Each structure stands twice: as structure tokens, then as C-alpha cells.
């Protein structure tokens, strides 16, 4: 899998890539996210930045497994990490689901949602990453960390 950055970003050449696949099982998520974290550590990404990416990836995997795969272990989530020459990191997570419209998600910060026990994943990703976009009707999320 390879991904092109938007022309406006001009991050330079890809210097490192890492790919993984995980089954549609919530119990597979932690190990997969930890392997991304280990790769970031190997790439000498600072700890705070690494923690922010790890949490964003954890949330993206959770959405992909629960909603994209319907918790079906026979289905598969794909992830690709790319580090660019200028240090920027792109992580793409895609699932086999029909997708969704992230614009229609309620704001978890609103008073009537603050006591909800769900609905914060995409919000967290948007807060922690520098640029987030969705492709393929929302079944693919592209997350940049500068």
C-alpha cells in the first residue's frame, strides 16, 4: 500500500514505511496499536508525540473493528504508516465496511453528550492529530502528525 501526500503538504520523500493488518476483533487492537508505537519508538519519535499518535491509532482501530468490521474476526483492517523526509508521519487505517459520514457525528463536548459513554473516538483523533481526512465514504481515515 502506498499513499501520496497532498501537494500542499510537500513532505518530501517517504523514508520509512510500516504496514500491518489486524482481524476484526477488539482483543486484537491493543497488540496492533502497540506494534505501531514500537515502530514510532524505533523511528525516534518523541514520547509525547508517540503517545498522541498511539491514542489516535487506537481510536481508529476501534472504529474500524467495531463499525467497519462489525466485530467479525474474519474481516480485516489495514494500516500503513509512512514517515517522510521532513519528519511528518502519515497513518492510514482502512476497513471493509460501507463507511459513514464523520461530519454527522455529534459533538461530545456538548452538555447533553458529556455523560454519554461513547462517541468520543473521532473527536479525540481530530484533537491529537494535525490533519485528518476521510476517503472511500469514511471507510478509510488518513491521519497526519507534523
Binding footprint of another protein on the chain (CB under 8 A): 26-27, 29-30, 33, 48, 51, 54-55, 58-59, 62, 108-109, 114-121, 123-124, 127-128
What's the min distance (Å) between Cβ of 55 and another protein?
6
Residue 118 Cβ vs another protein, minimum distance, rounded to whole Å: 5
Could you tell me the smallest distance in angstroms from the CB atom of residue 54 to another protein? 7
Instruction: Between 78 and 120, name the residue whose CB sits nearer to another protein.
Output: 120
Sequence-ordered list of residues with C-beta below 8 angstroms from that of 133, at least 6 positions apart, any chain? 141, 142
C-alpha cell at 36: 505501531
137: left (phi over 0), alpha (psi -120 to 50) or beta: left
Residue (61 or 84) nearer to another protein, CB: 61
Which C-beta is closer to another protein: that of 4 or that of 117?
117
Alpha helices (H) along the chain: 29-42, 47-63, 121-128
C-alpha 77/C-alpha 33 separation (Å) is 12
Beta carbon nearer to another protein, 61 or 144: 61
CA-CA distance, 134 to 93, in Å (whole number)?
10
Distance from chain centroid for Cα 117: 21
- Tell the smallest beta-carbon distance from residue 21 to another protein (Å): 17
Amino acid at each position: 500500500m502506498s499513499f501520496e501526500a497532498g501537494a500542499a503538504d510537500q513532505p518530501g520523500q517517504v523514508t520509512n514505511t510500516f504496514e500491518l493488518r489486524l482481524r476484526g476483533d477488539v482483543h486484537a487492537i491493543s497488540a496492533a496499536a502497540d506494534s505501531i508505537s514500537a515502530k514510532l519508538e524505533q523511528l525516534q519519535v518523541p514520547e509525547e508525540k508517540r503517545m498522541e499518535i498511539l491514542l489516535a491509532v487506537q481510536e481508529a482501530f476501534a472504529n474500524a473493528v467495531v463499525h467497519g468490521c462489525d466485530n467479525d474476526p474474519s474481516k480485516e483492517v489495514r494500516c500503513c504508516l509512512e514517515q517522510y523526509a521532513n519528519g511528518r508521519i502519515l497513518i492510514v487505517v482502512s476497513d471493509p465496511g460501507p463507511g459513514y459520514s464523520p461530519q454527522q457525528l455529534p459533538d461530545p463536548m456538548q452538555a447533553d453528550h458529556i455523560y454519554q459513554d461513547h462517541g468520543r473516538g473521532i473527536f479525540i483523533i481530530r484533537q491529537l492529530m494535525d490533519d485528518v481526512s476521510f476517503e472511500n465514504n469514511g471507510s478509510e481515515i488518513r491521519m497526519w502528525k507534523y
